[in-house]
Amino acid sequence: MKKQLSLMTRSLLLSGVAAIMLSSCIFMPPKEETKVSPDTKKEVPDSTDNETQTPADGTGSGTTSPADGEDTQNKDNGTSSGGTENNISTKHGLSLVWQDEFDYSGVPDKTKWKYQTGKSGWGNAEQQNYVSNTTNAETAIVGDGYLKIKAYHNGTEWRSARLNSKQAWKYGYIEAKLKITDRPGAWPAFWMMPEGRSDWPRCGEIDIMENAPAIGNHKVFSTLHAEGHSAGDGKGIGNKTYDKNLSKEWHTFGIKWTGDKITAYYDDVAMGSYSSDGTEVNWPYDQKFYIILNLAIGGTLGGDAYVNNLKGEAEFLVDYVRVYQ
């Protein structure tokens, strides 16, 4: 699942939202582009297991547009309800190069995932302490065919998990099938950061799916960040408001990422795109990015005012993660 605000803006935000996800930032809603929704972010890490905080701010430019003529080929039948899957080896004319189907039990596959740990607020005043699950499946538990990221309060603190893929990719179709938390106070995210960098927002960030019901019931959104468009100026490439059954249903979220365009897909439907303007300030998306799955508690998008309503627990389920190139 990264931004700084002025004291005045933060005060206004917290009073409004409170009354009503390695990465970092303080939340501001992004500018409305085509079908754009609020943006956020999380703290900016590098690709190590150590936490890194890089507060940042920025202004936006670039081209965001609804996806036009994108390939909306279906790979799965009944994707939004966990239906039977067909051939998964190709999608959008690309071949499957990496996957975790979570068809085993215990801790997440140690050859594929590592953890970013710590309790620093992650640039967003988040409450959770991210812990490692390398040997003990405490907050990242695989079983029954899926990964469960479990956030819970142990009487002293909130504990959760933040998983980073050990591999990174440049371009392709990246997708996960998720059952989203959708509870005010919780902030689940499926996103990507560049390998070996922590100079946010210049390094870039790709948010494939974030869910923050504290700022909009049953809402999911996708956002891009760069030096030229970050925090409240992040480029929205998709958003959708679902019904009250969102947390009970499986949905797929992905991006089709090429050398000059990134398009968001929800359940194989193209939602919106952002095109390169040829400048580094607006297109840092020409390097390898790794995948992040995490569940934050409270903070600028989770909503501290709602944390008590979680009653000490929340979960974020992942059926699979796949990468095509």
43, 210, 227, 315: the active-site residue? 210
Q: Three-state SS for 250?
A: coil
Distance CA 261, CA 231 (A): 20
Distance CA 39, CA 239 (A): 10
Q: Is 205 a catalytic residue?
A: yes
Long-range contacts: 153-159, Cβ < 8 Å, 24+?
153/312, 153/313, 157/119, 157/127, 157/128, 157/129, 158/127, 158/128, 158/129, 158/297, 158/298, 158/307, 159/128, 159/129, 159/130, 159/131
Contact 261, 230 (CB under 8 A): no
Q: Is 138 a catalytic residue?
A: no
Distance CA 232, CA 4 (A): 10
Structure tokens that stand for 88 in this block: 């998964």
205, 227, 280, 315: the active-site residue? 205
Please provide residue 7's backbone torsions phi and psi, each rounded to the nearest 5 degrees: -60, -40
Contact 206, 176 (CB under 8 A): no
Distance CA 256, CA 176 (A): 13
- Active-site annotation, residues: 205, 210
